[in-house]
C-alpha cells in the first residue's frame, strides 16, 4: 500500500475539522463585531466569539492529548518539507493556545468577565486595567494575523501536495477513509 494513503485516526480528523470550522467562525465573529455590528447586537456577538474561542482552546488541548498517545501515520516526503510542515504545526498549536488566553485576559481587563456559554464564569485573574487591555488587544490582533499567515502556509502546502505532487496527503485528513495504519505508541 502507498505510504501516504494511510489516514489519521478518526478522533484526530474530527478534532482537526472541528477546530478549522470554529476558527473560521471565530474570525468571522471577531472581525464583524469590531467593525460592522450595531450596539444592540454587539454584546451578544462578543459573547459568541468568546465562547467559540474557549471551545477552540479546549479542542486544542484535546488534540494535543490525543497526539501524545497516537503518532500520525507515516509520511513519505523529503525531510525539508517534513521540517517545514512540522514547524507550522507547532506554531499553530502555540498560537491556538495563546490566543484564547490573551482574549480572556483582555476581556477581563476591559471589565467584561468571560462567562462560558453564559453558564461557567472564567476566573478573573487580572484587574480592570484599560492600558493592559489595550496592549492585550494589540497582541490579540497580531496573533490573529499570525494565524492567518500560518493557515495560508498550511493550505499552500496541502494544495501543493494535492495538485502538483498528487501524493494523497490531503486524503489522510478527509472523512470516509478508515484509519488503517495509524500507529499507536
Ligand atoms: C483562537 C481563538 C480566537 C481567534 C482566532 C480570535 C480572533 C479575533 C479577531 C480576528 C478579532 C478582531 C480583532 C480586530 O479586528 O481588532 C478578535 C477580537 C476580540 N476577541 Fe478574539 N479570537 C479568539 C479567541 C478569543 C477568546 C477566547 C476571547 C475571550 C474569552 C476573545 C475576545 C475577543 C475580544 C473581547 C475581541 C474584541 C477586541 C476589541 O474590542 O477590539 N477572543 N478576536
CA of 64 to the centre of ligand 1 (A): 22
Binding site membership of 146 for ligand 1 (Cβ less than 6 Å): no
Which among 146, 140, 152 has a CA at the least distance from the CA of 30? Answer: 140
Which among 57, 183, 182 has a CA at the least distance from the CA of 122? Answer: 57
Which among 8, 3, 20 has a CA at the least distance from the CA of 175? Answer: 8
22-50: per-residue pLDDT in tens?
A: 999 999 999 999 988 888 889 999 999 99
Binding site membership of 47 for ligand 1 (Cβ less than 6 Å): no
Closest ligand 1 atom, residue 100 Cα: 27
Nearest CA to ligand 1 atom 35: 107
In angstroms, the CA 95 to CA 11 distance is: 21
Per the CB < 8 A criterion, the answer to whether 182 and 6 are in contact is yes
In angstroms, the CA 51 to CA 25 distance is: 11
Residue 161 clears pLDDT 70, i.e. is over it: yes
CA of 185 to the centre of ligand 1 (A): 36
Residue 175 clears pLDDT 90, i.e. is over it: no
Nearest CA to ligand 1 atom 42: 103
In angstroms, the CA 146 to CA 162 distance is: 24
Average pLDDT over residues 139-146: 98
Cross-strand bridge partners of residue 115: 121
78-127: per-residue pLDDT in tens?
A: 899 889 999 999 999 999 999 999 999 999 999 999 999 999 999 999 99
6-29: per-residue pLDDT in tens?
A: 788 999 999 999 999 999 999 999
Higher-pLDDT residue of 75 and 120 is: 120
Per the CB < 8 A criterion, the answer to whether 12 and 6 are in contact is no
Please state the pTM of the whole predicted model. Answer: 0.90
Closest ligand 1 atom, residue 27 Cα: 10
Work out the pLDDT band at 61, boundaries 50, 70, 90.
very high
Binding site membership of 124 for ligand 1 (Cβ less than 6 Å): no
Q: What integer pLDDT is reported at residue 36 of this predicted model? A: 84
Contacts of 45 (CB under 8 A, 6+ apart): 29, 32, 33, 37
CA of 44 to the centre of ligand 1 (A): 14
Q: What integer pLDDT is reported at residue 3 of this predicted model? A: 53
CA of 30 to the centre of ligand 1 (A): 5
Domains of the chain, with CATH numbers? Answer: 3-173 (1.20.950)
Work out the pLDDT band at 180, boundaries 50, 70, 90.
very low
Amino acid at each position: 500500500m502507498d505510504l501516504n494513503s494511510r489516514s489519521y485516526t478518526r478522533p484526530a480528523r474530527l478534532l482537526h475539522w472541528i477546530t478549522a470550522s470554529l476558527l473560521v467562525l471565530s474570525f468571522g465573529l471577531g472581525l464583524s463585531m469590531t467593525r460592522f455590528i450595531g450596539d444592540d447586537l454587539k454584546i451578544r456577538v462578543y459573547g459568541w466569539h468568546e465562547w467559540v474561542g474557549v471551545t477552540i482552546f479546549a479542542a486544542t488541548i484535546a488534540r494535543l492529548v490525543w497526539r501524545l498517545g497516537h503518532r500520525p501515520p507515516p509520511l513519505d516526503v523529503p525531510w525539508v518539507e517534513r521540517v517545514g510542515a512540522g514547524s507550522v504545526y507547532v506554531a499553530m498549536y502555540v498560537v491556538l493556545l495563546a490566543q484564547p488566553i490573551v482574549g480572556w485576559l483582555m476581556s477581563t481587563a476591559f471589565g467584561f468577565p468571560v462567562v462560558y456559554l453564559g453558564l461557567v464564569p472564567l476566573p478573573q485573574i487580572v484587574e480592570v486595567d484599560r492600558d493592559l487591555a489595550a496592549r492585550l488587544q494589540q497582541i490579540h490582533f497580531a496573533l490573529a494575523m499570525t494565524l492567518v499567515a500560518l493557515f495560508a502556509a498550511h493550505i499552500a502546502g496541502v494544495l501543493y501536495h494535492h495538485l502538483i505532487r498528487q501524493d494523497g496527503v490531503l486524503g489522510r485528513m478527509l472523512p470516509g477513509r478508515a484509519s488503517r495504519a495509524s500507529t499507536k505508541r
